[in-house]
């Protein structure tokens, strides 16, 4: 065991495989999107809830936070090549790489995702350099033939299916 300091924290946490999600919505200044890899489903089944950790320094989050509904797209393996562009700090046109659908409530869902959730913020909590956001899920849909992309040791991989 070793103390976690500096970049060692990121190195250790990167050894845990995780899915990658895009949170997106129509906001007062137009469509907004951020990418997160700290995402968890099944926080609650009744009501259905999920959670995401958002960097406190995000310039996109304040606009998304004000949206009435937020779309959560669990990105699919075909989207691995565009994740870095979606997550870019240059937010001028993050959507140019993907098709999108906007729900009646203003949630933005990305085509090619493995799972879509239409959510609203239920609660949030400061957590060091992140904010943990609990999302109430109002609607969901999945694409059975799309596998989610997995981030592991800073690389995007296809999930290994047990057969």
Question: Across the strands, what pairs with 72?
Answer: 23, 117
Calculate mean pLDDT across residues 65-82.
Answer: 91
pTM for this model (two decimals):
0.88
CB-based contact 137:50 (threshold 8 Å): yes
pLDDT number for residue 162? 42
Question: Residue 11: which H helix or E strand, with range?
Answer: helix 7-13
> Residue 13 — very low, low, confident or very high, per pLDDT cuts 50/70/90?
confident
15 against 143, higher pLDDT = 143
pLDDT number for residue 82? 81
Instruction: Look at residues 157, 147, 132 and name the one whose alpha carbon lies nearest to residue 40.
Output: 132
Sign of CA dihedral 54, 58, 64, 65: positive
């Amino acid at each position: 065991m070793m103390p976690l300091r500096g970049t060692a924290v990121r190195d250790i946490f990167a050894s845990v495989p995780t899915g990658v999600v895009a949170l997106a919505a129509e906001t007062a200044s137009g469509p907004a999107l951020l990418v997160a890899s700290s995402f968890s489903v099944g926080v609650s089944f009744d009501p259905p809830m999920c959670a995401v950790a958002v960097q406190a320094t995000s310039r996109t989050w304040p606009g998304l936070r004000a949206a009435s509904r937020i779309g959560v797209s669990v990105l699919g393996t075909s989207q691995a090549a565009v994740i870095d562009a979606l997550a870019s700090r240059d937010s001028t046109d993050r959507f140019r790489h993907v098709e999108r659908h906007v729900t009646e409530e203003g949630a933005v869902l990305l085509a090619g995702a493995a799972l879509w959730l239409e959510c609203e913020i239920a609660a949030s909590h400061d957590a060091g350099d992140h904010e943990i956001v609990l999302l109430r899920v109002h609607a969901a849909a999945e694409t059975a033939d799309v596998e989610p992309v997995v981030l592991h040791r800073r690389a995007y991989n296809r999930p290994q299916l047990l057969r």
